[in-house]
Amino acid sequence: MAYRYGNRHQRMLLPPSVEEYVPAAAPVRAYDAIVDRLDLAALGLVEDSGKEGCPQYDPRAMLKLLVYGYSYGVRSSRKLERECHYNLSFIWLTGGLKPDHKTIAEFRRRQAGVLAGVLRAVAGVCLEIGLIEGNVLFVDGTGVGADAARAHSWTQDKCERALAQLGERIEALLAACAAADEAEAGTESLVALRGELATAQGRQAAIEAVLGRLQATGRPSLNTTDGDCVRMHPDGGYAGYNGQLVVDDAHGLVVSGAVVAENNDSQQLAAQLARATETLECAPGVVCSDAGYVDYEQIRQIDRAETDVIVPSRQQAGGREPGPFDKRRFAYDAAADAYRCPAGQVLRCKGVDPKQKVRHYFAGAVCRTCPHFGVCTKNRRQGRKIKRYAHEAEREALERRFVEPDAQAIYARRKTRVEHPFGHIKHNLGVRRFLLRGLAGVQAEWSLLLAGFNIRRLITLRGVPALRALPTGC
């Protein structure tokens, strides 16, 4: 069998122009076409070719470089610099420009606010060509690590324990220095003691400053590397952020996204829906999420006349059927403000806790004569007791809505839509932590990642030639 051998010394010519480096249907051309249609002025990115001073790199070309790089998991400024030298698609995209890593990093840092708006601009393109319908939206969040170690997260308790240990160490060092003989002054051992004492005192001052910030802000923890990140609870805890997104049901495209310094989703439903509504410029028909978003104060902020909310209660999400004497088996009569138990006895309101917004209902001594006494309750004096919270009406309405067939069908599609972007970003691109620090930086990165996901979906749905042919303004 014959073989084909390569020859590094074979003379050859590259195409006469950079335009011929990539074929007409190459995905990079779709990225180029879409970014060219974005209104940079609306994003806040100023283009002024008449500026005096040293020429800058074309801001649109720098934006293309970041969007395209993040779409394929190339996020490091040094890696982006390398791609601009050796990767033909990057060379074509930037028109042969070769910014160094410092220039790329500085552009990304300075234009973090602009980059945070890229997702909304790309979602606007999807909306105009009819691929985002806005009828049914799914909301979810995922934890992403910060560019900070968990060991640098401090709580008030940790600060106090560290200060107590340092106090003991400083006292011991002071005693050791005082006990040194005058004849030993200037010797190596005394110099080392004084150096260690200075280090311990400096660390003590730093921890006291952290404790002061914790007490002033009321935050439960503070990371000294990235002051905006929080301690995330899963997997034993890590320093990170909560990446939120809202996905459209029609084609799985991301409508909006945000990064929040919260370690759970309970306070996010209304806020994320509001962000999506800004992009859509109208309220969606349905919003759906998992039980992690159950917070009835949040749900009350949503106009239920415009937007139907499909969210399971935590009991429904657990999949456990209520027992024969579970609270959900007791029927509430709003007119009489009373509960009726499965055995037919009435539980009347006997007390109100205004602070906790709880009403207490008791059956009384009648429970002692019930055949279910000892199973339903063992309280001989008060009988069965039920607490009714201020949000019970919302919970009951949501539970009734969730079990309806159309709601079950929508909820069944939730995972196939909302988990797709997370799987792509974390598994395919390998993004487990952000590279930038601070909320502004990580929001810019999250926007780039989600915008890149949308463009890749557009290529799958429409193809490169169709995206290149989009009319101006779409």
Residue 151, pLDDT > 70, answer yes
Mean pLDDT of the chain, nearest integer:
88
Look at the pTM and tell me if it is higher than 0.85: yes
Task: Identify the burial level of 438 via C-beta atoms within 10 angstroms of its C-beta, where 0-12 means exposed, 13-18 middle and 19 or more buried.
Answer: middle
pLDDT at res. 242:
95
Each residue of 380-417: pLDDT tens digit? 888 899 989 888 888 888 889 999 999 999 999 999 99
Tell me which residue of 398, 407, 396 sits closest to 138, measured CA to CA.
407
Each residue of 79-100: pLDDT tens digit? 999 999 999 999 999 999 999 9
Which of 3.50.50, 3.30.70, 3.30.420, 1.10.287 is the CATH number of 134-145+229-312+398-444?
A: 3.30.420
Residue 181, pLDDT > 60, answer no
* Angle separating helix axes 59-71 and 27-36, nearest 10 degrees: 140
Sketch the domain layout of the chain as residue ranges: 18-127+462-468, 134-145+229-312+398-444, 156-219, 326-383
Q: What is the maximal distance between C-alpha atoms in the chain?
A: 102
Each residue of 294-332: pLDDT tens digit? 888 888 889 888 999 999 988 888 777 788 888 888 989
CB-based contact 354:347 (threshold 8 Å): no
Name which residue leads in pLDDT, 457 or 351: 457
Task: Tell me the pLDDT band of 113, cut-offs 50, 70 and 90.
Answer: very high
